[in-house]
Each structure stands twice: as C-alpha cells, then as structure tokens.
Amino acid sequence: MPLSKEIVAALKKICKDRCFTDQESLLLYGYDATRISHQPDAVLFPVSAGEIADILKLANLHGIPVVPRGAGTGLTGGAVPIKGGIVLSTEKMNRILSISKPDLTAEVEPGVVTGTLKQMLESQGLFYPPDPASSEFSSIGGNISENSGGLKAVKYGSTSNYVLGLEVVLPTGEVLWLGRYTHKGVVGYNLKDLFIGSEGTLGIITRAVLKLIPKPQTRSTLFATYRDVYASASIVTDILDTGILPSAMEFMDHASMNAVSSYLGADVFDTKAGSALLIEVDGEQEETRRAIERIAAVCKGRAVSMETAHGPDPEKLWTARRAISPALTKIKPFKLNEDVVVPLSKLPDLVLGVEQIAVPLNLNYANFGHAGDGNIHVNILYDARDDDEYKRALTAVDRVFDLVIKLRGTISGEHGIGITKLNYITKELSPAAHGLMKGIKHLIDPNNIMNPCKAI
C-alpha cells in the first residue's frame, strides 16, 4: 500500500527537504549489492537521532516497514525494502564526532565511510582494524549491523571486537545508550552486542564509540602460488603452527585470479597457478621481516612461486585482492556469493567438497577469502537468463551449506542472513534458539516494522 498523502506530509515535516518519493529515488534506493530490488514508498535522509525517533514513532503507529540503509553494499539483501515502506538512509549522518588519542577511542555517526575513518586515524598513528574488502565504500553503521569481518579478522577479530558503545533508536522511538566509553565494562546484560549483527531488525544505530589501537609500524607480505587448491588450503594450519599470527591470510583459487587479471586488464596474478595465498604480517620492522621469512620457509616445500615484500609496495596485490568480488562478473553476470566458515583444519575438505558439488552440476565457481580464519567466499556463478542454470546454482548452494554444517562450520561468517540465506538458517539454528530469537524480536519490535522478513 503506498503511503497516504498525510503520512508523506508528516515525514516531510520531520525530514524537511530530505524526504523523497520520486521514481528515481525509489529506484535507486531499492537494491543492494545482491542486485535484488524492491521499491520503497519513500526514501528519507535524517540527520539526527531525534529525527529518526520521530520517524519511527510515526511508522510504528501506522505499521509502516522501515529499512535502515548504510551504503547499500550488503551481499544478502539486508537493505532491500522487500515489504516497501521507508528506506532510512544514514548517508547524511557521516560526521566523525571525536577522536581521542589518549583514550584510544573514536565517536562516529553511522554513515561514516569505514575507509575514510581508517585513513584519518592512520594519519594520527591510530588503527581501527576491521577491514571488509568493501571498506572504501561501506559505512560503519552497516559494518556494525552485519558484524563485518574482512581481511584483518584473522589477527584482530571482527567489527564487534571494536564497538564499545552504541546509541540506538528502538522501533518505538525510544533513544537508548548501550555500552560504554571505556575499553572494559561488564555492568548488566550485554545489550550492545545484541544490536551488533542484528541486520537492522531491532533498531537504528545512530552513534558508535569505537575502540582503537596504535597503528602497527610496518608490514611485510608474502605472495605464494600453488599447483592446486588443496596445497594452499592445507598449508594454513602449518603456517599458524609457527606461532606467528599473520594480520591477513587470503586465499584465492585459479578462477578468482584469472577473473581479476582480466578485470583489471593487467597480469597482476600468475594465471597459470592453481591457487595462491597472500599473507601479511604487521608490527615492528625487524620483527615482521623475520616473521615473513619464517612463514616463507614453511611455504617453500609446496609453493610453485614465492614473492616477499616489505613496506607498502605490494598495494597492487591488495587492490587486486579487493577486486575479486566485482571481477567475477567477467565469468558470469551473476553469483551466489556465500561466506561460509569451517574449522581451519577442514579448509581442504571444504575446497575439495565445493569442487565435487559444482562440477557434476556443470557450474562455474570461484573460491577466495579469509583463509586465516576459515572463512571462504564460495561463489557459484550463473546467468540469470538461464533458468536451469539458476536452479542448479541453488542446488549447489544448498549442498555447500550441508557440507559446511557437516564439517562443524557456519553458513555465514560476516555477510549476515538478510533475505538470501533465510531459507537455510534452520540447518544451523536449533528450533529452541531460533524461537528465542523470534521472541526477542517481538519484545523489541512488537509491530514488526524494523526491516521485516530479514535475518531470523
């Protein structure tokens, strides 16, 4: 049901000239990086928690769905307004409110682009480690709502490890402060963490206090190629066995490397290699140099080629790594991009298992991702114009999830459930746990207006 004239007028009163109902805006704010789309009835750009509280009070009274949106880079349809209603973009709430070097904290609005914050901090000798490959364009609010991981999670953990405090607006319009400004604190239930990774289904994050650490002095990199996927997947546990914890350990298979080389128009990777590991160690200069040499010694026996670098030189390799996801459209226009995680020792079983699932179904696929924490992006590639291929791709995903559960893994390490994985969550969650989650949702959002039909 489109919004009535009276409701649009009330929204315009709250958001002034930042409320849009024209066709272009509805089209532009109806999709995310999954390319699934559904038009909302209005797109709003509030600039304060007060405005958001007024919007939610109105929406709650009239039962209008509200879908929070950061930068729309989500890979599971979380920001897609599948029930219509209001898309509430935090794009204009993009102020870095404060950075405290002595306290090692930053206070930010949700629309701040993660890469912008990281750059500003690094110029002051500070470091905010969460680093999704989308950090140049995704927002802090989106990262918190998905509990994003990324390239540095192997050493530093995911976004949740760096969120100290959150201001959230509940569906009823109540503004709550959860958490603290300090690096430690255990008073009461940990409600802050309930909102981290809740995919915009419980409320809207309007401010965050983030934990920072001192910026590591330097980094060293090793790029090792292997004959096949099994060889690189099975060396991960040997590397960690050295006692060195790399700051990044990225895996890519032949298809991923090929796609990037063709996408960037340059031979960034050796396209003859069957797979590769891109490993980074950070810290003091001498320490990182020695660490990367020890890791190189472990890789040596099985690697086809190896290249080490110290300092920022290999930026070309990291740019190429970050480009894998968009580059895969060079193989097929669409992909089912999963972000499964398995125990580290099971990585070889996962990559071999994906091959055994995809090949008999005659599907193209590519595996890449954060091998250091067992988080592999399994991409099943397809062309949406080919119905049969799409059905086979769905069958493959279903089988990959079964495999992952059998290996004692999880079906999502960082992208969340959104709408694309909803049908699969009962493979992992027990009925009791799933029921409790639904009960919590109902308690906080009794009229089910916050991002309905997502996540649980």
| Of 107, 146, 338, 373, the one binding ligand FAD by CB under 6 A | 146
Q: Residue with the closest Cβ to ligand FAD?
A: 142
Number of chain residues interacting with ligand FAD (CB under 6 A): 37
Q: Is residue 367 involved in binding ligand FAD (CB under 6 A)?
A: no
Q: How far apart are CA 70 and CA 140, in angstroms?
A: 8
**Given the complex with ligand FAD, which of 326 and 360 has the nearer CB atom?**
326
Q: Is residue 71 involved in binding ligand FAD (CB under 6 A)?
A: yes
Q: How far is the CB of 238 from ligand FAD (least distance, A)?
A: 24
Main-chain dihedrals φ then ψ at residue 21, nearest 5 degrees: -130, 10
Assigned token pair, 244: 């060195």
Contact in structure between 80 and 419 (CB atoms under 8 Å): yes
| Of 332, 451, 452, 456, the one binding ligand FAD by CB under 6 A | 451
Q: How far apart are CA 255 and CA 382, in angstroms?
A: 14
| Of 25, 60, 105, 148, the one binding ligand FAD by CB under 6 A | 148
Q: Is residue 15 involved in binding ligand FAD (CB under 6 A)?
A: no
Angle between helices 285-300 and 229-240 (to 10 degrees): 130
Q: How far apart are CA 51 and CA 117, in angstroms?
A: 24
Assigned token pair, 84: 């219509």
Q: Is residue 247 involved in binding ligand FAD (CB under 6 A)?
A: no
Q: Is residue 132 involved in binding ligand FAD (CB under 6 A)?
A: yes
Q: How far is the CB of 218 from ligand FAD (least distance, A)?
A: 23
**Given the complex with ligand FAD, which of 258 and 291 has the nearer CB atom?**
258
* Per-residue exposure over 158-168, b if at least 16 CB sit within 10 Å of its own CB, e if not: bbbebbbbbbb
Contact in structure between 365 and 381 (CB atoms under 8 Å): yes
Q: Is residue 143 involved in binding ligand FAD (CB under 6 A)?
A: yes
Q: Is residue 232 involved in binding ligand FAD (CB under 6 A)?
A: no
Q: Is residue 134 involved in binding ligand FAD (CB under 6 A)?
A: yes
| Of 32, 167, 250, 282, the one binding ligand FAD by CB under 6 A | 32
| Of 19, 75, 170, 354, the one binding ligand FAD by CB under 6 A | 75
Match 């069958």 to its residue by tokens. Answer: 395
| Of 26, 67, 117, 222, the one binding ligand FAD by CB under 6 A | 67
Q: How far is the CB of 451 from ligand FAD (least distance, A)?
A: 5
**Given the complex with ligand FAD, which of 142 and 348 has the nearer CB atom?**
142
Own/partner pairs, 84-87, CB within 8 angstroms, 24+ separation: 84/1, 84/38, 84/39, 84/40, 84/41, 85/40, 85/41, 85/42, 85/59, 85/449, 86/11, 86/40, 86/41, 86/42, 86/43, 86/44, 86/55, 86/59, 87/29, 87/30, 87/40, 87/42, 87/43, 87/44
Return residues touching ligand FAD (CB under 6 A): 32-33, 67-75, 78-79, 90, 110, 132-134, 138-139, 141-143, 145-146, 148-150, 199-200, 204-205, 325-326, 414-415, 451
